[in-house]
Structure 1
């Protein structure tokens, strides 16, 4: 029987998996109450990297070599649109009863179809951790009656978009009951085989779920030692010398970091970030050095769009910048990426829904406001 397995869909997920592994190591070292859970299992976790929505690239090999994981496996996860036979089961019939029957059939069949792509025997693991169980892996585990732990997709992401309730708007309590008994599947703590769901801060969430458990990310990062941070930098950063050279630009001037995100269609996205660069290219009236940190799933060519700006790679989570000693920015600008954990800036600007109202219909991004009980 193996100890733990993490199913990750993004670089941020891998980052949190690393934090959890370091936490187990530190508990074992300190000989705390939970030491028996970790003392004999250090380096015995399996890391599964889904290729469905993220290009992990060279980090796969570095993860295999870093010593933090027993095994690193790529997973060819398939979306429901990959299987044409599922389309009729996703079509609105106009009848609640018929829709529910189709949904029961969909959840079971989707799990069955996913099975041939599953790269490991999950029943051989004591603890299964799944980030973003709304993805096909959640349907598979539900279909196979395999219990697992869920983790929030991004830092405090449910606060800004409670996808479980939004995706199941209308008659939610009934649908949640159907999920709790295993007839359908709902993500984020509502599935029958989801043991619990880790979130950063329960107090900020509008809608409670009995399976939420609070595991503050700050507590995990505060435990990190210098060697831990260095290991993670080697894991996530392919060329540290090149990154440091970029980050050293303009230290004698005000410096602004803008976080890119895969927002809207490409023409609208170009306009959004052109406007942001124009708006925030000065600090206190002085011209600033502007850098853009590319989002891992944003494939807009920012080097072509902004040839005079410094574009940081999207192949690592922004939290890695916290580990670079002496790094400092005057301002950080984000549309939706939660920046609460960032330590290297003087001013954080989170734009949110009011900003996005200017670029697309509000109902597209104002998710929580449309949730009905």
Structure 2
């Protein structure tokens, strides 16, 4: 049997898999799916090392600046800043936390009006978690809160991990709940709520000194207000259940001292949306502690069963829902969709 320390020593640097939230994916994922998102963002090496507390503290800062461009029009701009802190305590504990602020301004296109719609919003979010480390596992408890002018979300999560005796296999299980209050500024509805429960099961396996694989199954059960109060003719079911399957592989290349990261994710929900995400990344170490990561992502999804296609020939009138339609939406994020990043 190969020694565990040798088997994963090449994959324990900052080379990690991250799952970024894309615009189209945020439309199909329930807001309460924070547990799955957090678990997917963990590096494979960190999950294998679940029984090991961090030796040093960490402070990290991230800033995003996004801009849509269209000649002669002030289009959407998003600015987001995140600060994260992780501190080890007494060799067996660690406490972490992060704060996020993001702002959105500009204007979005509107099919049923004569001009684009001006918008502006600001969000603050934060989370705190505590982890207790054991010889072959760990337990993590976390809370989070996010608030903006018309939306308040509060969540609680718990996650545990257990490693095999040779420390080459790690099993993970998690549970999370979110409770959201919705009060849109246009007063279409008031004091609406949405509650989501998330479940996660996963296994991470070290195959060789250069290879780590992981399989994760997630399930989300959501009930409450899922409609978009700012869209015309938008009435969605008051429940949304989804299943996510994820497979990931990290491979260390001795010749270049780089890491190849490949993943596939399948998503399905009871709105008849099915999506596939293929992600390929290569992490190359550079002198001075720098890394560069080119990546290629393919994404495709089917439409929700109640999605109504807007017909440009009837501008500016809205397409009428079928006479027997209980639910209907013209949100293009619920349409057939594909993207190459």
- TM-score w.r.t. length of structure 2: 0.24
Which is richer in strand? 2
> More relative contact order in 1 or in 2 (CA 8 Å, sep 6+)?
1
